[in-house]
Amino acid sequence: MKIMFKKPDSSPISTQDRTPRVRFTELCAGYPGRPVLHQLSAEIPTLATTALVGPNGSGKSTLLGVLAGVIHPTSGELHHDGERPPAFVPQRGAVGDTLPLTVRQAVEMGRWGERGPWRRLTRRDHSTVDAALDRLGIRDLASRQLGELSGGQRQRALIAQGLAQESDLLLLDEPTTGLDPEARERIGELLTTLIADGVTVVQATHDLEVARAADTCLLLQDGRLAGQGHPDQVLTMSTLPRVWQPL
């Protein structure tokens, strides 16, 4: 098993000839006594939105955890073409409602990778946190407890925490699940603008509408790759019935 980080080339690269932000070969991963991913080989293009799509239990969250570095592959190779670690935004349900955290404190946790959890934040750290709060339109919620927020507000707070890490690779686990249409649209628009700002976005989802809006997708079934490419080519009436039983 091999994991590699590479400093990106600063010279301009055309859309057709860009180096993938992440690529993996024959990747296997799982949990003690429970293998989940089986020999996956694919690429995550830079400056694009990639959807990891499939039904519940297909391995989406496990693959996202491997890309984030919180789950270690059992075999295969994983290459990151970037200097900074990915920013990982977990599902809203993974963050307890009872945690005594304000929105600002939650976003400040995104700076821990730079400072550590016990060191005082610098002026630059505070400026970065403020910018993330403003970017997500939640500066007015900074003093509110996470548990008091609506689902859409809470999701924006978690994404702001991810942005505060200042990574060029943002990994999101089901960022729009359970949200109302307005909140889903707002988050979708945000992810589009992040691409223009130089951020590569990968999101796990079982929502076909969200997946079809991505630039590219990896279709997973039972921990194996059932398809990869543009959503119009991958999410078809011939492939979907084999993955979703029933549709």
- Which range, of 20-29, 180-189, 210-219, averages the lowest pLDDT? 180-189
What is the chain's mean pLDDT, rounded? 85
Quote the CA–CA distance of 240 and 247 in Å, as a whole number: 7
Q: What percent of the chain has pLDDT over 90?
A: 56
Q: Is the pLDDT of residue 163 over 50?
A: yes
DSSP 8-state symbol, 17: G
Quote the CA–CA distance of 193 and 137 in Å, as a whole number: 14
Q: Is the pLDDT of residue 96 over 50?
A: yes
Domain formed by 1-86+168-247, architecture:
3-Layer(aba) Sandwich (3.40)
At 48, is the secondary structure helix, strand, or coil?
coil
Question: How would residue 217 be classed by pLDDT, with cut points 50, 70 and 90?
Answer: very high
Q: In terms of pLDDT, which residue wins out, 239 or 1?
A: 239
Q: Is the pLDDT of residue 15 over 80?
A: no
Q: Is the pLDDT of residue 214 over 80?
A: yes
DSSP string, 92-156: GGGS-TTS--BHHHHHHGGGHHHH-TTSPPPHHHHHHHHHHHHHTT-GGGTTSBGGGS-HHHHHH
DSSP string, 230-242: -HHHHS-TTTHHH
DSSP 8-state symbol, 47: T
- Model pLDDT, residue 207: 87
CA distances, 177 to each of 51, 146, 151, 200, 203 (Å): 14, 18, 9, 20, 11
Kindly give the pairing relationship between strand 200-205 and strand 216-221: unpaired
What are phi and psi for residue 39, nearest 5 degrees?
Answer: 50, 55
- Sign of dihedral through CA atoms 101, 107, 113, 115? negative
Mean pLDDT of 58-71: 94
DSSP 8-state symbol, 6: -
Q: Is the pLDDT of residue 219 over 70?
A: yes
- Which range, of 44-53, 105-114, 136-145, averages the lowest pLDDT? 105-114
Mean pLDDT of 219-224: 94
Quote the CA–CA distance of 61 and 59 in Å, as a whole number: 6
- Model pLDDT, residue 245: 63
- Model pLDDT, residue 98: 59
Helix (H) or strand (E) holding 217: strand 216-221
- Model pLDDT, residue 229: 93
DSSP 8-state symbol, 9: P
Q: In terms of pLDDT, which residue wins out, 6 or 161?
A: 161
Residue spans of the domains in the chain: they are 1-86+168-247, 88-166
- Model pLDDT, residue 242: 72
- Which range, of 5-19, 149-163, 187-201, 215-229, averages the lowest pLDDT? 5-19
